[in-house]
Amino acid sequence: MIDKDFNFPEKYIYFKTKKGVLLCGDCLEIMKKFPENRVDLVLTDPPYGIGITKQKAIGGGSIRGKVKQINTVNWDRKINYDYFSLMFKVSKNQIIWGANYYIDYLYPTRCMLVWYKRDKLPIRSFADCEIAWTSYNKNSMVFNCRWDGFIRDSRERKTGHPTQKALEVFKWCIKEFTQEGNLILDPFLGSGTTAIACEKLNRRWIGIELNAEYCNIARQRLKNVQLQLL
């Protein structure tokens, strides 16, 4: 069960499991109500504000010279430092993907994580890798997981979220940096990957997502995981 000290307002609660809770709302307002230093790890992938929704597409091309079309929704905006300040305040440690877009909000660290996508296509649709900043005093690490359009090491389905992360990548983060029963927060849950990884690895979790459409996707994915774990 999630610590009762969080006392989540009912209006934010979208879905619950035995291990976690999905909250639908602005994480800035919700995190203000959290006790300090209670979360073991913030594991998240915040929006980068790189103009994807203005283009209504993501990726620079594919083997067929096309790009993936996406719906224009209000997620592609760079968040201000207030969000980071609260993430630091409520948690003991942090792993933040897309660190290259938020260098001005972060401090020097020994431990950067690299997700290497092993893109071998003749025309590159996406970056070769993604980078996460961490608060840990450990050596930097690289994790290989091919993830470029339909060429993927993971068998999981795409959800419709433009920047969905591979489940195996987030499972790797959780296994490397937390213990069973730890509490993990993702303030930008998107389609629910962090929560699903926690369910599979026996970690407690809190997920926050502003967009109701993505909350619905996350809820359905979590329901499917619950059936698999029976």
Domains of the chain, earliest start first: 4-229 (3.40.50.150)
Count of beta carbons in the 10 Å neighbourhood of residue 224: 11
34 three-class SS: coil
- List pLDDT tens digits, range 24-64: 999 999 999 999 999 999 999 999 875 554 444 444 433 33
Distance CA 78, CA 75 (A): 9
* β-sheet with 204-209: strand ranges across: 13-16, 20-24, 204-209, 183-186, 39-44, 91-97, 129-134, 112-116, 141-144
Q: Which residues pair with 39 in a beta bridge?
A: 91
Output the six-digit token pair for 121.
Answer: 């296509």
List 209's β-bridge partners, or say none: 24
Lowest-pLDDT range of 66-80, 97-111, 198-212: 66-80
User: What is residue 121's predicted lDDT score, i.e. its pLDDT?
Assistant: 57
pTM here is 0.84
Q: What is the mean pLDDT of residues 164-191?
A: 94
Largest CA distance in the chain: 53
For residue 161, the model assigns a pLDDT of 54
Instruction: Report the SS3 class of residue 190.
Output: coil
Specify which residues 201 forms β-bridges with.
none
* 227 class by beta-carbon count within 10 Å (0-12 exposed, 13-18 middle, 19+ buried): exposed
The whole-number pLDDT of residue 31 equals 97
Q: Please give the residue that has the higher pLDDT: either 57 or 172.
A: 172
Q: What confidence score (pLDDT) does residue 65 get?
A: 38
Q: Please enumerate in sequence order all residues whose Cβ is within 8 A of that of 66, keeping only pairs 6 or more positions apart, or say none.
A: none
Q: Is the pLDDT of residue 147 over 50?
A: yes
List all residues 6 or more positions away from 213 whose beta carbon is below 8 Å from its beta carbon.
73
Residue with tokens 């096309």: 66
User: Residue 120 — pLDDT band, cuts 50, 70, 90?
Assistant: low
Cβ neighbours, 10 Å, residue 197: 25
In the Cβ-directed half-sphere of 116, how many Cα atoms lie within 13 Å?
6
